[in-house]
Amino acid sequence: MTKIIGITGGIASGKSTVVEEIRRAGYQVIDADEVVHGLQSKGGKLYQALLGWLGPDILTAEGQLDRPKLSQLIFSSAENQAKSATLQNHIIRQALAQERDRLSEGQDILFMDIPLLVELDYLDWFDQIWLVYVDEHQQLHRLMERNGYSQVQAKQRIATQMPLSDKKQYADLLLDNNGSPEDLKKQVQLALKNL
């Protein structure tokens, strides 16, 4: 029976660093964001669903989804966020389950990186949940720096997710990313050693 570990956190919390370290150690990691990007590529299930909902204005001249424009539209209202979630979550859950089932054959341990693991109730999928934790100030600062957002834009993005402090109660392991990337990597290495 494959042990499946869920990795979660929030936007700009350091999940990518954790995933990179886990992959470097030779483990398989299903990245929900990568799965979503595949579904959103031209002709994909999400691409079709979003196009049907928002029309051709969300496409680039090449016919791909215009991600900044799409993001702006979705985050422009609570109504659009709710509609987007309803439209996309079922398709994403199905795709993640297929990928999980495919990869768990022949793996003793499998990781899944799902940013909204708690919010979208994936809790029962996992034997363990690892939370990449960073305090609110750090998260805001890193998101502004990484994405070039204004403080208002960054706060708006962070506000769409459950606060990391509220996610702590669901975590079997807390990976504290308030220090350096090296500190975080050491925590991941130790956690892998203890599996």
Domains (range + CATH), the chain: 3-193 (3.40.50.300)
Per-residue pLDDT tens for 19-46?
999 999 999 999 999 999 999 999 999 9
Report angle CA 163, 165, 167 to the nearest 5 degrees: 75
Q: Kindly tell me the burial class for residue 70, based on how many C-beta atoms sit within 10 Å of its own C-beta (0-12, 13-18, 19 or more).
A: middle
Q: Does 1 score more than 90 pLDDT?
A: no
The residues with which 189 forms a beta bridge, in sequence order, are none
Q: What is the pLDDT of residue 150?
A: 93
The average confidence (pLDDT) of the chain is 94
Annotated binding site for ATP: 12-17
Q: What is the pLDDT of residue 106?
A: 84
pLDDT average, residue stretch 52-60: 94
Q: Which of 34, 18, 3, 5 is nearest to 133 (CA)?
A: 18
pLDDT average, residue stretch 122-130: 97
Percent of the chain at pLDDT exceeding 90: 86
